[in-house]
Structure 1
C-alpha cells in the first residue's frame, strides 16, 4: 500500500511538472505586419523573439537606409532571438570586468550567440495580446559604445518589466562601421541613403514598425516610451532632436546619457567622407561595390584598426552621429540650445561612480591638471582644483571630474533646456546604490549598475540583498508609472518632484530614496564646453 501511494504520488508530481511546463511554454499566434507570428507564453508573459522590422541590410543594402520588411507567407516562428549585429567582444569584456570586480567567474560573461549583418529584428514581451488593451509601450535601446550590444543581453530581458502591465520591446541596430559610415560614393547616393547615420535610421525604422503594429501585441502606439542606457541613451538624445523621429515616441528615459551633446560625439560630414575614402584605400578597393563585396568580418576588423589608430581621427568617437542633411541637421548641442527638442516627457539621470571602473589605477597630478585644462575655462582652473580637493586620491579626482563632464553637467544642461523650451516636465535621478560585497575590486555605483534594478534581472554573480530587491521594485514602478502617464509617482513611493529651481531637485536612488541636491553642482557651475 505504501509503495502504491509512493508511485501514485510520483505520478502526480510528474503530471504536475508536465502541466507546469506546458503553462510556462505555450504557443500563441498573432497577426502583425501582415504576418502570422507564433510566439510563446512563459510564466504568463507572451514573448515574440526575432521579429524582423526591415530587410536584411546585406549586399547592395549595406550602407543604405533600412528597407521595409516584406511579409512572409505562412506561420512564422518567433521563438528564438536573432543574431546580434556585427561586433567584437567590447561588451563581453565589460561584463568580464564587472564580474571580476565582484570576485565572480569571468567565464560567466554573456556573449551574443551569433553575429551577422542580417540583424534588424526586435523582440516583444507583453502581458496581453488583446489589441484593445492599449498598454503603455517601453522600447529599449541597448548601449555598448555603438560598437557592441544585443537585444537579449541578460539584463535587458523584458519578462519582469512586462509584469507591470507594460509592453516591452527591444530593437537591434547596426553598429560600428556598418552603422555610421560615409565615403564619397555614399555621399552621392540619394535621399536617406547618403546620411551615414544608418544606426539611427534603423532605430527610426523600428519605431515606425511599432507605430504600425504594436496594437497587435496589446500596446498603445500613442503611448510609446523609449529608454536606454549609455550609448543607447545617447542615441535617444539624437532621436529627440532628429526631425525624422518626431511623433514616434511620447516619452524618453535616458540612463547615463547626456555626453552626446559634446562636440566630439557629433562628427562632421565632410571629415567623415574623407575618412571613409581613406578606409576604402586601406582595404585596397576603389569602388563602393567592391567595399560592399568584402566579408563583414574583414570590414569590421579593419575598421577598428583604421578608425581607432588614425592620428587624424584621434578625438573622434567611434561610431556616433554624423551631422547630415537628413537625420542630424546640426549638432545636438546647438539644436537643444535653439529649442529644437521634441515635445515629450523626459526622465534622465546618472550613477554615482560612472567612470571609476574605467579610470587607470595610477593617476598623476599632471593627469588631473591636464583634464581640467582640457574641459574647464582657464580662469576656473584654481576653483576646479579647490572643488575636488576633498578627494585625496588622484584616481578618485579624475573619475569625479570625468563623471561631471560626461554625465552630471550635460544632464543638468539638458534638464534646464527642457524646462526653458518645453511645457513638459523632466525628472532627474542619481543612482547611488552600492552592492554589499567583500571580494574583488571596489567600483561603486558603476556605469550600468542600475540596469538589473530597472529590468528586475539580477545576475547570479551579483550579490543581491533584500534591500536590492526592494529598490528594484521601487525603480521598476517609477519607470513604468512614468511610461504610463508621464509621472513616476505612485502610492507607496517616496515623492519625486520634477526638476526645477528648488534646493533639492534630484531623486537619490540608493540606500535612501529621497530628493537631494544636484550632484557635482559646484563643478558644473565652473564647467563650460564652448560647443554647448
Structure 2
C-alpha cells in the first residue's frame, strides 16, 4: 500500500562494504499494483489480472540475472529478502513458477501469505471488486478506467471505505494457494531465514479503544472465536488486568503477522529438505530524541505528526515493534535521526547484519564470533529459534502450542 525503495533505512552502503551487491526494488502498489478487472483478464496475452506489483518484482529478478555481473554480482548466488509486505512478497516469489531459478536463498521478516488474512484473493472475487471500484468512479469499462487521471485513482483508493487491493490467485503467477504449494513441497527449495519482532503491534489491534482489562479481553475473544474462546483463554491466560494487556498484545501480534510467519517457516522446514533459520528480534528501540516532542512512532517504522493536544503519554515499548529491525539488519541506524541510539543498539545491529551477510554468502548465518544459530529443522538441534538482542541466544521455540491452535482455526 505504501513505501519506497529510496527510504534511507534501505540504503545499501553498509551491506556493500561487507561484499554484498544490494539491489532495492520498486514495484507498483495499491490500485496500480493489484487491481484485477474482468476486461484486464480477457486482454490478449493476459493470464489473469491483479498481480502487477509481484510481476514487477519478478521482472526485477530477471533483470538481475541478466545484468548483475556487470556490477560485480553473481547471478547464481542471488538472495531475495523483504519485510512486512516485502516478506509476504518473498513467500509469493517462492511459490511463483515464473520465479523459479531466479534466486537461491530467501529472507523474510514479519509476514507471509500462509494465513487466511494474507492469502491471495480468488480471481473472480478480485475482478468483481475491481469492476465495482471502477463503477464507483463512473468508469464502467476498462477504457473509461484507463482514461481517469492517475492522481484521481490514487486519491479514490485512499479514501476511507475504499477497497484494498492485494495479491490474486490468478492461475498464472499464483496457480495454487501458497499454503497448498508449501504443504506439497512444490515451492522453491532454498535455504530460508525468517522471523518476527517481539511486539509487532499493541493490544489496541485487538481491543480497539477499550482499556486492557480482563473483561475487555474476554469480550474481544468471545466475539472473535465464539465456541473456541475457552482454548484461547487457556493459551493466552489473563487473570489480572496486567496479564490481560500482555495476553491481548500477544494475541494481536500472532493474528497480525507472527502466525503466518511461523507457518511459512514450519511448512518449509518440513517439506523443502533445506535449512530454515528462525529468529525473534527482541531489542526495543530507544526513546525518541528530545527535539521530536511532536511525533509518535507509526506502525511501519516511520513517524506520525501528533495532532492531539496535550500530547498523550506514551509508555515505553516492551519489545521490538513492527519494522523496527530494518535499520539494525541493514546497518543503517545512523540514517535514522529520530531515535537516541545507544552503544548496545549498534552492537545488536553489527551482530544481526553479520548473521545476514553470512546467510547471503553461504546459506548459513553462522560464523566466527557469533553465538550459534541452529537450523529450526535440524535433526539434532531442531525446534530452536534465535532471540536477537544484546546477547543473542538460541532457545526452544516458545508458544508452539498457540500457533498449532491458530493453525486449526485458520483452516
For normalisation by structure 1, the TM-score amounts to 0.66
- Give 1:201's match in structure 2, choosing from 55, 64, 67: 55
- Give 1:400's match in structure 2, choosing from 239, 243, 250: 250
- Give 1:452's match in structure 2, choosing from 308, 327, 336: 327
2:37, 2:49 within 8 Å by CA — same for their partners in 1? no
In structure 1, distance between residues paired with 2:122 and 2:81: 27
- Give 1:244's match in structure 2, choosing from 63, 82, 98: 98
- Give 1:261's match in structure 2, choosing from 114, 117, 120: 114
1:478, 1:488 within 8 Å by CA — same for their partners in 2? yes
Task: Provide the secondary structure at the position in 1 that maps to 2:62.
Answer: helix
- Give 1:309's match in structure 2, choosing from 150, 156, 161: 161
- Give 1:378's match in structure 2, choosing from 227, 230, 240: 227
What do residues 91-116 of structure 1 show as CA deviations (whole Å, max 9, x unaligned)?
xxxxxxxxxxxxxxxxxxxxxxxxxx
Aligned-CA RMSD value = 2.3
Larger radius of gyration: 1
Which position in structure 1 is the counterpart of 2:85?
231
Which position in structure 2 is the counterpart of 1:515?
394
Instruction: Pick which of 407-416 and 158-167 moved more.
Output: 407-416
Task: Provide the secondary structure at the position in 1 that maps to 2:258.
Answer: helix
Q: Structure 1 residues 286, 412: CA separation in 2 closer, same or farther (over 3 Å shift)? A: closer
Instruction: Pick which of 403-412 and 328-337 moved more.
Output: 403-412
Q: Structure 1 residues 278, 435: CA separation in 2 closer, same or farther (over 3 Å shift)? A: closer
1:404, 1:520 within 8 Å by CA — same for their partners in 2? no
Which position in structure 2 is the counterpart of 1:33?
none
State the shift of 1:497 in Å: 0.3
1:113-512 pair list within 5 angstroms: 147-192=1-46, 194-258=48-112, 260-265=113-118, 266-305=120-159, 309=161, 318-356=164-202, 359=205, 360=208, 362-363=210-211, 365=214, 368-369=217-218, 371-373=220-222, 378-379=227-228, 381-389=229-237, 392-393=241-242, 394-437=244-287, 440-443=314-317, 444-458=319-333, 459-500=336-377, 502=381, 505-512=384-391
State the shift of 1:304 in Å: 2.8
Q: Structure 1 residues 290, 383: CA separation in 2 closer, same or farther (over 3 Å shift)? A: closer
Task: Provide the secondary structure at the position in 2 that maps to 1:254.
Answer: strand
What do residues 395-447 of structure 1 show as CA deviations (whole Å, max 9, x unaligned)?
43222102123333333322221222112100000000123449854233100
In structure 1, distance between residues paired with 2:223 and 2:376: 29
Q: Structure 1 residues 422, 279: CA separation in 2 closer, same or farther (over 3 Å shift)? A: same
Q: Please list every run of at least 4 consecutive aligned residues from structure 1 whose deviation after the TM superposition is greater than 6 angstroms.
A: none
1:376, 1:526 within 8 Å by CA — same for their partners in 2? no
Consecutive unaligned residues in structure 2, runs of 5 or more: 291-313
In structure 1, distance between residues paired with 2:122 and 2:219: 26
State the shift of 1:150 in Å: 0.4
For normalisation by structure 2, the TM-score amounts to 0.85
Q: Structure 1 residues 525, 372: CA separation in 2 closer, same or farther (over 3 Å shift)? A: farther
In structure 1, distance between residues paired with 2:196 and 2:220: 21
Task: Provide the secondary structure at the position in 2 that maps to 1:169.
Answer: coil
Instruction: Pick which of 284-293 and 450-459 moved more.
Output: 284-293
In structure 2, distance between residues paired with 1:428 and 1:492: 19
Which position in structure 2 is the counterpart of 1:29?
none
Instruction: Pick which of 288-297 and 204-213 moved more.
Output: 288-297
What do residues 483-522 of structure 1 show as CA deviations (whole Å, max 9, x unaligned)?
0010000000000000037476000001320001223323
In structure 2, distance between residues paired with 1:179 and 1:373: 37
In structure 2, distance between residues paired with 1:296 and 1:283: 12
2:347, 2:390 within 8 Å by CA — same for their partners in 1? no
2:111, 2:257 within 8 Å by CA — same for their partners in 1? yes
In structure 2, distance between residues paired with 1:262 and 1:279: 26
